[in-house]
Structure 1
Amino acid sequence: MKAISKIEAAAQQLDTAIDLYFANVNGLAVYTLAYASFKVLFDVYPHQQNDGFCTQLDDIIAAEGWKSMSRPANFLKHADRDPNALLENYHPDQGMSVIGLATLLYRRLAGDFTPRMRAFDFLVEEAGYDELDVEEVDENTARVEHHGRVREAVRAMPRDQRVAFAQKKYHFFLENYERLNALIDECRTSGLTLTEIMNKHLLGSENTVD
């Protein structure tokens, strides 16, 4: 038996939501876990941080509509007033934005992502590389062009194929997390650029579309 903090509990829920999302097995469970984690972290945040971030986040969500964000979670949690209700316009990717907000809060509270949250953040950046204006740090032109072609091919896939591809990348990231961190540390201490480290260790060879 051990005590567990609100932040630790939220992290476990969030990590599980991320696992389920990439397993492509239950979008409703993903939303329930992600929203529960988000609400805990959102409520805890102003008690531990005094930087006004939650107020900014509240304003952003209010512009989109708190009700629209909480509606799926409430639908899945309550039935006393609306036992015959239907969840309209449901999409299995709805939980992604909630996961993203929750991981952002967690990192600001805990100081860093968990490995699963970092993998999710990386794959979201990969999926929205152009739209998010992600800075390209690799100076290897051929590799950059190859990765661009892979992203285009993935965007053209049906959703289930995209998620399957992301699942492969997700597991690769987790299985190689310590090695990747070691390479980043090597980059910092050796004076090598990230491109030189990638050339040396042939990183990116897993980035193919089967």
Structure 2
Amino acid sequence: MSEPISKIEGASRQLDTAIDLYFDNADSLSAHALAFAAFKVLFDLYPHHQGDGFAAQIDAMISKEGWRAMSGVANFLKHADRDPDALLRAHHPEEAMSVIGLATLLYRRIAGDFSPKMRAFDIWIEQEAHDALGIEEIDGNEARAAEHKRIRDSVRALPHEAKMVFARRQYHYILENFDRFAEVAAREMEEGLSVTDMLDSRDAERKG
């Protein structure tokens, strides 16, 4: 007999599937529809789990552009009673990416952490939008930090298809090795090592 499925689990499964579609560079409309469905459920659930007003902040942010614009693609795919002959403008995967990003933020704040697939997506977004988000470089090794920036810039400049080939490789690598990375990082943090110390140690291991 199958177990009951909660709203949060259902949203999580939709979101994880949307992330798979995104990194596979598969149908962007399907990814968008799944991500928006998950986002709307999580947005509605948020006040029932957290009282910090974060959902209200997202509401205010979206309201600047208009909820109709935010939900336009999802509504186009869901309804046809009033506009059976309507056409959707060209759809780019980056539109699904932004919806996935908002949904993963809500999920983490409700559930306490990302799913592994959401974590891999978050790592990719931090790389893709590192400068736009104002993320601080935490590696104190200037040469290595400069190399990190060079790689980010070169990947960002790639055509979409080539960029997604790189993204897909990274996505699967993170999923396959995340538990090992987490164990090593936890052990190094217990030893009081900084991020720079950890990276120095790993560089030394590779060279030695």
Query: By the TM > 0.5 criterion, same fold?
Result: yes
Listed as ranges, the gaps of 5+ residues in structure 2 are none
Aligned to 1:184: 185
Task: Give the structure-2-normalised TM-score.
Answer: 0.93
- Counterpart of 1:159, as a letter, is H
Whether 1:174 and 2:199 are equivalent positions in the alignment is: no
In 2, Cα distance between the equivalents of 1:71 and 1:193? 45
Further displaced range: 72-81 or 14-23: 72-81
- For the Cα contact (< 8 Å) 1:138–1:194, is it kept in 2? yes
Q: Matched residue of 1:192: which SS?
A: coil
Task: Give the structure-1-normalised TM-score.
Answer: 0.92
Further displaced range: 179-188 or 28-37: 179-188
- How many residue pairs are counted as aligned between the two chains? 204
In 2, Cα distance between the equivalents of 1:163 and 1:138? 26
Residue 145 of structure 1 and its aligned partner are, at CA, apart by 1.6
- Counterpart of 1:170, as a letter, is Y
- For the Cα contact (< 8 Å) 2:128–2:152, is it kept in 1? yes
Aligned to 1:18: 19
Residue 89 of structure 1 and its aligned partner are, at CA, apart by 4.1
Q: Matched residue of 1:176: which SS?
A: helix
**CA deviation profile, 1:41-97 (whole Å, cap 9, x unmatched):** 011111222222212211111111100111100111111221211012422221111
Further displaced range: 183-192 or 22-31: 183-192
Aligned to 1:208: none
- Counterpart of 1:99, as a letter, is I
- The structure carrying a bigger helix percent of its residues is 2
In 1, Cα distance between the equivalents of 2:187 and 2:134? 27
- Counterpart of 1:135, as a letter, is E
Q: Matched residue of 1:94: which SS?
A: helix
In 2, Cα distance between the equivalents of 1:52 and 1:169? 34
- For the Cα contact (< 8 Å) 2:28–2:91, is it kept in 1? no
Aligned to 2:41: 40
Aligned to 1:120: 121
Q: Matched residue of 2:51: which SS?
A: coil
In 1, Cα distance between the equivalents of 2:171 and 2:69? 29
Question: What is the Cα-based RMSD across aligned positions, in Å?
Answer: 1.5
